[in-house]
Amino acid sequence: MNSFASPQTLAALPFPRTNTGKPSADDLYSRIFDAILEQRIHAASRFTEESLAQMFGARRSDIRGVLTQLSHQQIIVLRTSHRPRVAALDSEQTRQMLHARRLTEITLVHLVCQQSRTQDLKPLRALIDSERQCTARGPAIRLSGEFHLQLAEMAGNAPLTHFLGSLVPLTSLAIAQFEVGLEGYCVWHMHQAILEAVERGEAVKAENLLGQHLDHLEAMLLNAGPTLSQNRVVG
């Protein structure tokens, strides 16, 4: 984990970890969220705690904990006497979420540019490099979200950063469900430009670049609309 990202914020997105024996809580969260983003588990999937426990080689109690965490992030819907299910976002929900994210993240980037340049940016540069390599093989949805969360950590405003941490997973879910995949858009290149502006303390430029980035994402998502695959049912 990088030197400036808190566990609470980075828990908002899954990260790959070495799997040895029974998965840890963090690794189990990562693997289940990965399956959701990859649409191996989607809004039409029929699954239970037991079926997920078998699928991921975990205890039901651990699965229950992950589902509860994902429900707090509005990724999973839990209802008494009903199977858990993946939330199905609609265009209006997505529009409102993106609007809230824009207001929050523009403010955070402005705050980042006001910070001293003594913070170590190497983790972010390494993340962008990983994103570039991943993009050569396919969409880097998770890494894209991780960049925004790690950059937000540098702002020094815990409440805003925490709020953004609740919006980024929903954005990732929308990208997965709407099946836009970020094709045709060099996200890592935009992230690199934003980071360079931040490094130079150019707040206006960083905010403009981020605004363009979010404009493009919003256009892709709202023009695409949700598409639920029906042939990848779990359980």
Q: Which residue has the higher pLDDT, 234 or 41?
A: 41
Q: What is the pLDDT of residue 5?
A: 44
**What is the chain written as a DSSP string?**
--SS--HHHHTTS-------SSPPHHHHHHHHHHHHHTTSS-TT----HHHHHHHHT--HHHHHHHHHHHHHTTSEE--TTS--EE----HHHHHHHHHHHHHHHHHHHHHHHHS-TTS--HHHHHHHHHHHHHHTTS--HHHHHHHHHHHHHTT--HHHHHHHHHHHHHHHHHHHHHT-TTTT--HHHHHHHHHHHHHTT-HHHHHHHHHHHHHHHHHHHHHH-----SS----
Q: What is the pLDDT of residue 23?
A: 75
Q: Yes or no: say if 171 and 101 are a contact pair by the CB < 8 Å rule.
A: yes
Q: List pLDDT tens digits, range 64-75.
A: 999 999 999 899
Determine the average pLDDT of the residues in 142-155.
90
Q: What is the pLDDT of residue 57?
A: 93
Q: List pLDDT tens digits, range 151-191.
A: 999 999 999 999 999 999 999 899 888 876 555 456 889 99
Same domain for 134 and 75?
Answer: no
| Torsion angle, alpha carbons of 59, 54, 8, 107, to 10 | -160
What domain count does the chain have? 2
- Angle at CA of residue 131, ends 125 and 135, nearest 5°: 150
> Residue 41 and residue 43: Cα distance in Å, rounded?
7
Q: List pLDDT tens digits, range 32-64.
A: 988 898 889 988 899 999 999 999 999 999 999
Q: What is the pLDDT of residue 235?
A: 40
Q: What is the pLDDT of residue 226?
A: 64
Same domain for 30 and 106?
Answer: no
Same domain for 115 and 128?
Answer: yes
**Residue 115 falls inside a structural domain:** yes
**Residue 186 falls inside a structural domain:** yes
Q: What is the pLDDT of residue 183?
A: 55
Q: Which residue has the higher pLDDT, 79 or 116?
A: 79
Same domain for 100 and 160?
Answer: yes
Same domain for 50 and 152?
Answer: no
Same domain for 108 and 45?
Answer: no
| Torsion angle, alpha carbons of 216, 219, 220, 224, to 10 | 180
Task: Give CA 69 to chain center in angstroms.
Answer: 14
Same domain for 98 and 195?
Answer: yes
54: domain range? Answer: 7-86
Instruction: Tell me the CA end-to-end span of the chain in Å, nearest whole number.
Output: 33
Q: List pLDDT tens digits, range 95-133.
A: 999 999 999 999 999 999 988 766 678 899 999 998 888
pLDDT greater than 60 at residue 228: no
Residue 17 pLDDT class (50, 70, 90 cuts) = very low
Q: What is the pLDDT of residue 77?
A: 95
**Residue 230 falls inside a structural domain:** no
Same domain for 134 and 103?
Answer: yes
pLDDT greater than 90 at residue 18: no
